[in-house]
Amino acid sequence: MSKRVPGVVVVGSLHYDIMVAAPHRPAAGETVQGDCWYPKFGGKGGNQAVAAAKAGVPVRMLGAVGDDAFGAFLRDFLRQGDVDDTHVATLPGRASGMSVAISDATGDYGAVIVSGTNLEIDPARLDDDNLWAGVAMLVLQNEVNEGMNIAAARAARARGVRVCLNAAPYRPLSSELTDGIDVLIVNAIEAEALSGGIGVENISGAEAAARKLSESFPVAVVTAGGDGVAVAQRNGESFTLPAEKITLVSTHGAGDVFTGAFVAALVSDLPLAEAVSRANGTAARHVAGLT
């Protein structure tokens, strides 16, 4: 990371994604004739790391892969994306994380993940000071064990590094983890679950959920798809931003692109509103198939 500072550390998941295109997603017991399939780099951690690097900041990834073909693919993609993979462990005899995602004709999708080595990341690797050199932000997600996230947040806090949690997929958050988070990013489903049931059916609902979440987090960001983004801060300030008008191609990975671009803007010292605007635009281009 010596070429430029400050930087980002991402602790999280790496998945070999198998993408399937189909007219619609199958109902229980239904077999659907698909159009095509293709492999893709994935995992929320990996996607966010690559997105942040693409936005122009130095990124280190801490994670784990198996000594299989999937692991080799994932490591190669990180390097090609200008992400430092020095702190990604290869675990002998273990299977890398993977997922199968079905994208339908509307551009929406559903997925199943098999976590594999993502649940075996060694917290002791957080003690390496080389991991944190020149770093201003830690990024976490919910595709690794909460204990790993807590350990990472503590290690970051001990070094004066801010912590961003993309709480996806949804699961209840312990107070031990919540207390270590500076920025929370959630989508509509996650916001409703974490805010105690505030519905995010439009941008007003997103702002209400963000305000509720800001009681527990210094900054809460709620992405509401085509309705836009809502942001609230613990100091009582809040604002919304409409979604950019685009032609939808696929929503797959949009949240990860938003998160990566957002944290890259924050560590580049952009104001919060400008960071959200930049991330919103980057995610819109991704959804439109323009990146």
Q: Which domains does the chain possess?
A: 7-14+43-96+116-181+244-287 (3.40.1190.20)
pLDDT band of 291, cuts 50, 70, 90 = confident
Q: Within 10 A of 112 (CB to CB), how many other CB atoms are there?
A: 10
Residues 89-116 have a mean pLDDT of 93
Taking only the tens place, the pLDDT of each residue in 214-244 is 999 999 999 998 899 999 999 999 999 998 8
Residues 6+ apart with CB under 8 A from 48: 10, 12, 139, 141, 166, 256, 259, 260, 263
CA distance 81 to 66: 20
The mean per-residue pLDDT over the stretch 21-25 comes to: 94
Q: DSSP 3-state helix, strand, coil percentages of the chain (rounded to 5)? A: 35, 25, 35
For residue 166 the two structure tokens come to 């993309």
Q: Per-residue pLDDT averaged across 159-167, rounded?
A: 98
How far is it, in rounded angstroms, from Cα 57 to Cα 63?
19
What's the pLDDT at 200? 94
Please, which pLDDT band fits residue 252 given cuts at 50, 70 and 90? confident
pLDDT at 286: 86
The reply to whether 256 belongs to the active site is yes
Burial label, 248 (beta-carbon count in 10 A; 0-12, 13-18, 19+):
middle
Q: Which of 17, 84, 85, 256 is catalytic?
A: 256
Of the pLDDT bands very low, low, confident and very high (cuts 50, 70, 90), residue 138 is: very high
Please state the pTM of the whole predicted model.
Answer: 0.92
